[in-house]
Structure 1
Amino acid sequence: MKQNTTNYHTHTYRCKHALGDAADYCSAAEKAGLKAIGISDHTPLPDGKWASVRMEMDELPDYCEKIEDAKKEFTGRLEVYSGMECEYFPRYEKFYNDTLREEFGIEYLAIALHFYPLGGEEISTHAFPMGKDALKSYTDLFVEGIKTKIFDFAAHPDLFLARYPSWDSYAERCSERICTAAANSGVALEINGYGFCRDDFSGYPNDNFWKIAANCGAKGVINSDAHCPEHIDIGFERCLDLAERMGVSVVDPVRTQAAKPS
């Protein structure tokens, strides 16, 4: 039986809606038989946006320190990487490159849209149903972010299906745009285990989306989006089943990137 042995989408207590810290997730990963783990909490933002669901800027040094401590503690037992889950708006590109990657040495970045522009505002994907105008805005922004190649993978790209009424031809066209951009940019798309298991915000991962991903040649990465250490491998079996049924090739974007010469 196939096993997924990596997880690059985990959250710490600092985001204000998760539990645990780097060492807690590493302990859980080791017990679950994983070979590599990444800590990828919601990034702080320099303008303080959406502060209720992410760490503060002054918590960033401690976040990085705790990951480094975990790397030392689990040396020879588990590969540990530092990451961030990032909203994409063009205004944050310099912060992601200069502050997160260069100053703090964050090893990988995941793009994830929890907000998108609509009617002069920035709307939460969790808060409101999405019509076609909203889905177009979400798709435009996601494609733009993927094409920057700042990000190593795209987290829960089919999240919109939790708020879009039903699969239709417009959802198909938008999915094709996202998957084509990912395939052309070499950015893996995440098959999100948490989406299979939550009862408050369901609708993803979606077979229709992943069939398109396979047809476009986009690659997948399986993560659990863990918000507590106990969820370190939540949904993995269903993610593997989806990838096999849809014909999605699963890759390891973080270790592949880390192995490249600097």
Structure 2
Amino acid sequence: MTSTATRPRGARARAAIAAKTLRTDRWWFAPLITVIGLSAWVAYATVRVFMHDFYWVADYHYLTPFYSPCVTERCVEGASHFGRFLPGWWIIPDAALTLPFLLLFRLTCYYYRKAYYRSFWLSPPACAVPDGHKEYGGETRFPLLGQNLHRYFFYAAAIISLINTWDAILAFHSPKGFGFGLGNIILVLNVVMLWAYTISCHSCRHIIGGRLKHFSKHPVRYKAWTFVSALNVRHMQLAWITLGTLALADFYIMALAAGWFSDLRFIN
């Protein structure tokens, strides 16, 4: 606070307010919902990843995205589209080649950083609410220094989205030939949402048009940049929607594999 001796003539001193914040609305509600939502999803995903069961429906070639690509010796042969070359130890996820990169892509995502900084770390929990920590070092130290690698995790996420797309295509070719059911709709919906979330990433937007000095000389890239920019506005919503579609696809395939109910088939 500026002292009386150094304060410019005519300037008013700051009000001495003892309260941490003068906000009277439920500013804590959004961080609380974020904690509950992310914690529930992580708990479900962790259980499913290490369950090592109910991930493949051979009758319709349904493979849950949590196990794609299935590359451990434990994997069912039909579900291993890229071979089985990792040991089948319990601690190793069956999709060990993709899950770490997907996790890092989401952890370093600009929206998710805002979400868990505000909710789990209270840094800060909301606008006009003080930070929950005495000091703020930004993203200049380990492990937050790794947030700068987000653009590289984007490339990995794009490759994984291609793999998920391939899985969704294969699901239309069951042992009986071409087939189409509710599971196909769910898998395709999940893939569409994953692509929308991936390409709406800030890094993708920068890759397409961030280095251009003259959009007029690059009309195709400009149109692509405009499209990605429109998706980027919905990046937060897409981040949550994809968590929902991933859980839905996994739960539906798990239920079919466990025999809880049968797939609603339209063709074959």
Answer yes or no: same fold by TM over 0.5.
Answer: no
Q: Relative CO higher for 1 or 2, CA cutoff 8 Å, sep ≥ 6?
A: 2
- When normalised by structure 2's length, the TM-score is 0.28
